[in-house]
C-alpha cells in the first residue's frame, strides 16, 4: 500500500504538484493531428495537466498550443480568428503566433511598442506519428522530441486511437501494467482453456529495471514442455509497450503487430488514453479493415463512441451495458470490449483510488515497481535532476515481444534478436 502522502505525490498533476512537475519534464501527446485537419481552421480546446489550453494550426501548418485566454483582459481565445499565421482575439484584435509572440495590437497607437512586452503562454509542439506532442516544462530541461519505433513506422503500418477515461491516470496505468488480470476480466469464453492466458492464471512476473523504467516478463505454463512468455516495456512516466497476442504461434490475428498505451492526465480526475499499434514487418501494413476488427474487439470501433466525442457509449452512466446473462454463461465480465472492461474497473474505483487500503500480492510486482520508480522520478525533479526516460535516445530502439518457448529455455536469449527496433 501507499501512504496518503505518496498517493498524493503520484496522483496530483496540476502546476506545482509533484507528479505534475514530473510530467512536465517529458514530451506528452496533446491531441491527434487529425483533430486540427486544416490550416487556419477552428481552434480546439485542450486540457492537459490541469491547464486549459487552446490548439490551432496556422497558415503554414504549424501547431500552436497556447493559453486559452487572451492576456489583455482574459477573453476566451476559442472564439478568435485563426488567420495569416496567428490567432486574433475578437475582443480587441490582439494577435498571437504559435510561439505566443504578440504580432499585432491594433487597439494601441501605431507607434506603441506595448506589444513587445506582452506574450501569450505557449508550449512547444512537434508532430510525430499522427499526434501532436508538447513539452510543458522549463525550457532549460527540454529533451529531444520523442523517437519511439512506432512513431517511425510508415503511416500505412501504424494506427492511433484516443479514448476519454473518467479517473486519475495512475489507476489506468496500473491496470495496463498488470498482467495477471487478463486471465479473468478479459476471459471471453468461459470454460475455454485453449487461450494461452487461460491455461495458467497465476503467471510468474519478473521486473528488470532499465534506464527508462523497466522491462517486465509474464511467464505462463502451457504444458510440461513449453511456456508462454510475454515481455512488456514500461517507459516513464506513463507509457506501456506490449507484445501482440501470439501471432507467431497461430493466433487469430496473424499480423506482426505490437501495441501499447499512453495515459495522459487531463487533470487529477480525468485521463486521455492513446492507443497505438504498428506492424513491424515492412511487407505487412495495418489495413483499415484489420484495425477496425481489432478496435471492435477492444470496444473502441468508430460507432462505439458518442458522436463527436472520444467517450464510449458504454460508460459509467449506463454501467458499461453489462449483461448479467452473458456474464453467467459466456464471458467472465459480461461487458463487451476488452478495454471497456478495463474502464469499468478503473473508473469504478473512483476518481482517485485510496491506496492506503489495498493489499498487494505477488501478481502486483509491476505495479509496485512502477510506483517506486515514479516516486524516485518525482524526487529527482524536485532535486533539479533529469528523471529517467526523458532522453529519447534511451527508448528509440526498444521493442516488446511474446512467444511460446521451451520450458528450459531463457526467453532473454530466445527473444534477443526480436526486442530491438528495426524501423
Whole-model pTM? 0.94
Q: How far is CA 163 from the centre of its chain?
A: 10
Q: Which residue has the cell 530541461?
A: 141
Q: Are 300 and 294 in contact (CB under 8 A)?
A: no
Please give the sequence-ordered ranges of beta strands (E in DSSP) within 243-386, or none if there are none: 257-267, 270-279
Q: Is the preceding peptide bond at 237 cis, omega within 30 degrees of 0?
A: yes
User: Could you give the residue range(s) of every CATH 2.102.10.10 domain in the chain?
Assistant: 27-141
Q: Are 65 and 46 in contact (CB under 8 A)?
A: yes
Per-residue pLDDT of the chain (423 residues; tens, 9 = 90+): 899 999 999 999 999 999 999 999 999 999 999 999 999 999 999 999 999 999 999 999 999 999 999 999 999 999 999 999 999 999 999 999 999 999 999 999 999 999 999 999 999 999 999 999 999 999 999 999 999 999 999 999 999 999 999 999 999 999 999 877 776 777 777 666 656 655 667 889 999 999 999 999 999 888 889 999 999 999 999 999 998 755 444 444 567 889 999 999 999 999 999 999 999 888 899 999 989 998 999 999 999 999 999 999 999 999 999 989 999 998 889 999 999 999 999 999 999 999 999 999 888 999 999 999 999 999 999 999 999 999 999 999 999 999 899 999 999 999 999 999 998
CATH topology of domain 27-141: Rieske Iron-sulfur Protein (2.102.10)
Nearest CA to 56 among 33, 72, 74, 76? 33
User: Could you give the residue range(s) of every CATH 3.90.380.10 domain in the chain?
Assistant: 149-418
End-to-end CA separation in angstroms for the chain: 40
Residues 6+ apart with CB under 8 A from 247: 253, 254, 255, 256, 257
Nearest CA to 163 among 271, 65, 239? 271
Q: Out of 3.90.380.10, 3.80.10.10, 1.20.1440.230, 3.40.50.20, select the CATH number for domain 149-418.
A: 3.90.380.10
Amino acid at each position: 500500500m501507499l501512504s496518503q502522502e505518496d498517493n498524493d505525490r503520484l496522483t496530483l498533476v496540476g502546476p506545482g504538484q509533484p507528479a505534475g512537475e514530473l510530467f512536465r519534464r517529458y514530451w506528452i501527446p496533446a491531441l491527434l493531428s487529425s483533430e486540427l485537419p486544416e490550416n487556419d481552421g477552428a481552434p480546439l480546446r485542450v486540457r492537459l495537466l490541469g491547464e486549459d489550453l487552446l490548439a490551432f494550426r496556422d497558415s503554414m501548418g504549424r501547431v500552436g498550443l497556447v493559453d486559452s485566454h487572451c492576456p489583455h483582459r482574459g477573453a476566451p481565445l476559442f472564439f478568435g480568428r485563426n488567420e495569416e499565421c496567428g490567432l486574433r482575439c475578437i475582443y480587441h484584435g490582439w494577435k498571437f503566433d504559435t510561439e505566443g509572440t504578440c504580432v499585432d495590437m491594433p487597439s494601441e497607437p501605431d507607434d506603441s511598442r506595448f506589444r513587445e512586452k506582452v506574450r501569450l503562454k505557449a508550449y512547444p509542439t512537434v508532430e510525430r506519428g499522427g499526434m501532436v506532442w508538447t513539452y510543458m516544462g522549463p525550457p532549460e530541461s527540454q529533451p529531444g522530441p520523442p523517437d519511439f519505433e512506432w512513431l517511425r513506422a510508415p503511416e500505412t503500418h501504424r494506427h492511433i486511437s484516443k479514448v476519454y477515461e473518467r479517473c486519475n491516470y495512475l489507476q489506468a496505468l496500473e491496470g495496463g501494467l498488470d498482467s495477471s488480470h487478463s486471465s479473468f476480466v478479459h476471459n471471453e469464453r468461459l470454460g475455454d482453456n485453449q487461450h494461452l492466458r487461460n491455461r495458467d492464471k497465476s503467471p510468474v512476473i519478473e521486473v528488470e529495471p532499465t534506464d527508462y523504467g523497466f522491462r517486465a516478463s509474464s511467464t505462463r505454463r502451457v504444458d510440461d514442455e513449453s511456456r508462454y512468455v510475454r515481455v512488456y516495456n514500461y517507459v516513464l512516466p506513463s507509457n506501456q509497450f506490449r507484445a501482440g497476442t501470439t501471432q507467431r504461434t497461430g493466433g487469430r490475428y496473424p499480423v506482426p503487430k505490437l501495441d501499447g498505451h499512453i495515459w495522459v492526465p487531463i487533470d487529477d480526475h480525468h485521463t486521455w488514453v492513446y492507443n497505438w499499434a504498428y506492424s513491424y514487418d515492412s511487407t505487412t501494413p495495418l489495413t483499415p479493415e484489420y484495425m477496425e476488427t481489432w478496435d471492435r474487439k477492444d470496444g473502441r470501433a468508430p460507432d462505439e463512441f458518442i458522436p463527436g466525442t472520444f467517450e464510449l457509449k458504454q460508460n459509467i452512466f449506463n454501467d458499461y451495458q453489462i449483461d448479467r446473462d452473458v456474464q453467467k454463461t459466456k464471458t467472465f465480465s459480461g461487458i463487451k470490449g476488452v478495454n471497456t472492461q478495463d474502464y469499468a474497473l478503473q473508473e469504478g474505483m473512483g476518481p482517485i483510488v485510496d491506496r492506503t487500503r489495498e493489499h498487494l500480492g505477488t501478481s502486483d510486482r509491476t505495479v509496485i515497481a512502477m510506483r517506486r520508480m515514479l516516486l524516485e522520478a518525482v524526487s529527482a525533479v524536485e532535486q533539479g535532476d533529469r528523471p529517467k526516460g526523458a532522453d529519447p535516445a534511451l527508448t528509440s530502439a526498444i521493442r516488446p515481444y511474446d512467444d511460446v518457448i521451451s520450458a528450459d529455455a531463457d526467453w532473454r536469449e530466445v527473444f534477443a534478436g526480436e526486442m530491438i527496433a528495426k524501423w
